[in-house]
Amino acid sequence: MLVVATSGTGFALGSGSTIDLAGLCWTCTGTMMVAASANSLNQLFEISNDAKMKRTMRRPLPSGRISVRHAVTWASSVGVAGTALLAWKANMLTAGLAASNLILYAFVYTPLKQIHPVNTWVGAIVGAIPPLLGWTAAVGHVSLNGMILPAALYFWQIPHFMALAYLCRNDYAAGGYRMISLADASGQRTALVALRNCLYLVPLGYLAYDWGVTSGWFCLESSLITLAISAAAFSFYRDRTTQKARKMFHASLLYLPVFMSGLLFHRLTDNQQSLPEEDSEKIVELSSSSETVPVESEDMNRKKKLSYYSSLGRQVRAPVAYASVAPFPFLPAPSYAE
């Protein structure tokens, strides 16, 4: 359900002023089918491991309620059908992302859990793709401002699973999984990793505002909830107890729905992001006139133009063009009018 919710949120963010409800339903359905296939394959590969863990021994396969043949048939059919549905009702890019994520989860992340603690970061990539999948289903391409929610999902998963890995470290050891918490008796490294990734969430609210995805209110709200989860992570870092880890885990559970709700509530439509036609013409005139003056005058004109853009509102720069400034020097130079 979490995967479907993040995919649906990504679709809504990429839809602009009008959300295609049929497209949203098809995207969520296809995402749900592919996610069901990935999770089923995960449980197929981990039957013996799940049987050793209190948290997972009651799952359908280790408990014997479903046969292996049944699970294989289900996982294969629903995975193929979900990918085909996304290719038919959305586009090939979305279907490709879904299929790639299924493969990454079932055939890379799942076996890696028993090999190396880096599996947590691979799993974070898996969790970050569904909102991007929803975005591409609505827009048809990957763009920089579509990366806000995937980035949030990636960084959020680290403190979420660090708390879980600390709370369930004995269970993970019994199941044969290689988690960072198992080689960290004091819990200091686990807590530090969680705190660091909470801090990585701090600028996302500003970027969402700066890139024209949301209004300025979201920047404030995102900062507040990110500081709250960071405070919980810092508390866990200072006092590495089960109680503090559980508090951070609960804070992570609260963070994501609040963050996504804020994105949806404060999102800007196409009309709010675009310049009026007459304003665009003025910008073109400023751009063309600046080519005929000396360098000193050109710099002055540039400052005047930037001041003019600020007076018009914060949505005047295209997100990708704005991000051409460092630290993204490889992106196209800013362009304010076509």
CA atoms of 81 and 125, how far apart (whole Å): 23
Identify residue 275 by its one-letter amino acid code. Answer: L
> Long-range CB contacts (< 8 A, 24+ apart) of 305-310?
305/336, 308/282, 308/283, 309/283, 309/336
> What's the pLDDT at 312?
41
Q: Please state the φ and ψ torsions of residue 2, each to the nearest 5 degrees.
A: -65, -40
**Shared-domain flag, residues 125 and 262:** no
Mean pLDDT is lowest, of 40-49, 229-238, 286-295, for: 286-295
DSSP result, 214-225: B-HHHHHHHHHH
Mean pLDDT is lowest, of 41-55, 218-232, 241-255, 285-299, for: 285-299
**Shared-domain flag, residues 197 and 231:** yes
DSSP result, 24-69: HHHHHHHHHHHHHHHHHHHHHHTHHHHHT-TTTTTSTTTTTSS-HH
pLDDT at 314 over 50: no
**Shared-domain flag, residues 134 and 5:** yes
> What's the pLDDT at 326?
36
pLDDT at 290 over 70: no
CA atoms of 97 and 113, how far apart (whole Å): 22
Q: With CA atoms as reference, report the closest residue to 13 among 157, 137, 154.
A: 137
pLDDT at 227 over 80: yes
pLDDT at 226 over 60: yes
Within 10 A of 245 (CB to CB), how many other CB atoms are there?
28
Q: Please state the φ and ψ torsions of residue 111, each to the nearest 5 degrees.
A: -70, -25
**Shared-domain flag, residues 148 and 132:** no
Residue 270 pLDDT grade (very low, low, confident, very high; cuts 50, 70, 90): low
Last residue of a domain, one of 118, 142, 166: 142
Domain hosting residue 211, numbered range = 144-270
Q: Could you give the angle at the alpha carbon of 40 between the alpha carbons of 39 and 45, nearest 5°?
A: 100
CA atoms of 65 and 43, how far apart (whole Å): 13
SS3 15: coil
pLDDT at 125 over 90: yes
> What's the pLDDT at 286?
43
Q: Please state the φ and ψ torsions of residue 214, each to the nearest 5 degrees.
A: -135, 175
> What's the pLDDT at 271?
57
Mean pLDDT of the chain: 84
**Shared-domain flag, residues 167 and 100:** no
pLDDT at 282 over 80: no
pLDDT at 322 over 70: no
HEC-encoded secondary structure of 140-206: CCCCHHHHHHHHHHHHHHHHHHHHHHHHCHHHHHHHCCCCHHHHCCCCHHHHHHHHHHHHHCCCHHH
CB 130 within 8 A of CB 1: no
Q: How many domains does the chain have?
A: 2
Residue 304 domain-assigned (yes or no)? no
**Shared-domain flag, residues 85 and 66:** yes
Residue 331 domain-assigned (yes or no)? no
pLDDT tens-place string over residues 7-21: 999 999 999 888 999
> What's the pLDDT at 55?
86
**Shared-domain flag, residues 4 and 130:** yes
pLDDT at 248 over 90: yes
pLDDT at 331 over 90: no
Residue 79 domain-assigned (yes or no)? yes
Average pLDDT over residues 221-234: 96
pLDDT tens-place string over residues 23-56: 999 999 999 999 999 999 999 999 999 999 988 9
> What's the pLDDT at 337?
41
We report the CATH number of the domain holding residue 77 as 1.10.357.140
Average pLDDT over residues 307-315: 43
Residue 301 pLDDT grade (very low, low, confident, very high; cuts 50, 70, 90): low
Last residue of a domain, one of 219, 238, 270: 270
**Shared-domain flag, residues 136 and 182:** no
Last residue of a domain, one of 127, 142, 157: 142
Q: With CA atoms as reference, report the closest residue to 125 among 159, 162, 94, 154.
A: 154
Residue 298 domain-assigned (yes or no)? no
Residue 22 domain-assigned (yes or no)? yes
| CA-to-CA separations, 128 to 2, 95, 140, 215, in angstroms, rounded | 11, 16, 18, 23
Q: How many helices (H) and strands (E) does the chain have?
A: 17, 0
Tokens 């995805």, located at residue: 213
Residue 77 domain-assigned (yes or no)? yes
Residues in the chain: 338
pTM of the predicted structure, to 2 decimals = 0.79
pLDDT tens-place string over residues 54-93: 889 999 999 999 999 999 999 999 999 999 999 999 999 9
Residue 3 domain-assigned (yes or no)? yes
**Shared-domain flag, residues 168 and 92:** no
**Shared-domain flag, residues 71 and 182:** no
**Shared-domain flag, residues 96 and 134:** yes
CA atoms of 45 and 171, how far apart (whole Å): 18
We report the CATH number of the domain holding residue 168 as 1.20.120.1780
CA atoms of 205 and 209, how far apart (whole Å): 6
**Shared-domain flag, residues 47 and 63:** yes
CA atoms of 298 and 210, how far apart (whole Å): 25
